Every structure is written in structure tokens, then in C-alpha cells.
Amino acid sequence: MTKIINSKLLAMLMGAWITYCAGVGDYGGAVFLLFFYSLLLWDLNAKKATGSDTSDGNK
């Protein structure tokens, strides 16, 4: 999951899609995509902080 979130290809595709959405005037799609990606980053950083991908600490 980390490699997908941090990939340059995903960033390029998201940037292109956001540019397209802004170009056609559909700002809701661009805002949703940015919000969804920020949630993925937040979840990834929360998992890094705890050192585990489970909420109860069991591996």
C-alpha cells in the first residue's frame, strides 16, 4: 500500500485528472480526489506512528 500511495505514476495521474476536472469546471471531482488522497496519507502516517497495521497491536 505504501508503494502505491507514494508512487510517482499515481501522483502524475491524479494531477492530470485534477487538471482535467478544473478545466471542465467540475471542481467537486478535483476536491474529492484531493480529499481521498489526503485520507490515504493520513491513514498511512497513523500506521507508521503505531508501527503496526492493526489497531489492537497484534501482529
Where exactly are the structural domains of the chain? 2-49
53 falls in which pLDDT band (50, 70, 90)? low
CB 4 within 8 A of CB 43: no
Residue 35 has pLDDT above 80, yes or no: yes
* Three-state DSSP state, 58: coil
Q: For residues 52 and 23, what is the distance between their CA atoms, to the nearest angstrom? A: 41
pTM: 0.54
Residue 25 has pLDDT above 80, yes or no: yes
Phi-psi region of 7 (alpha: psi -120 to 50; beta: other; left: phi over 0): beta
Give me the DSSP letters along 10-35. HHHHHHHHHHHHHHHT-HHHHHHHHH
- Give the chain's length: 59
